[in-house]
Amino acid sequence: MATVVGVVVCEPACSRFEYEKQTLEKVIRMEFDFERQSEEYKELKNRILDILEQVKDERKDLETERENMQVRRCFLIQNSVFAKELLFLNFVWFVFDFTPF
């Protein structure tokens, strides 16, 4: 002979009003969380845009400095060539006993 033992669990009955109340509370919590996350996203976006602008400014400054260095380099090279020519001319004048300028 087999015996079947069954357990019946009674869940508390929830009225339709209680169910709708819980659902509405959950929707309100979700909406609040969404708005909070939306504000955090906007703040993060603004910080990223600020950092990007700073990086662009730094890059522009570095490019300007690079151009200035190239100009100074060309100037130094030209002056170096001029100085070598001047030394050479002074040497030639000394060797040939010319009066240097």
61 pLDDT above the threshold of 60: yes
The closest alpha carbon to 88, from 77, 100, 70, belongs to: 100
Contact between residue 90 and residue 100 where contact means Cβ atoms under 8 Å apart: yes
Q: What average pLDDT does the segment 61-73 reach?
A: 86
* Nearest-angstrom CA–CA distance, 44 and 50: 10
Opening angle at CA 82, ends 96 and 75, nearest 5:
175
Residue 35 lies in a domain: yes
Residue 57 lies in a domain: yes
Confidence of residue 53 (pLDDT cuts 50, 70, 90): very high
Higher pLDDT, residue 10 or 23: 23
96 pLDDT above the threshold of 70: no
The number of domains in the chain is 1
Q: What average pLDDT does the segment 16-32 reach?
A: 93
Token digits of residue 50: 């600020």
Q: What average pLDDT does the segment 14-30 reach?
A: 91
Contact between residue 73 and residue 63 where contact means Cβ atoms under 8 Å apart: no
Residue 78 lies in a domain: yes
Residue 60: give the domain boundaries: 17-101
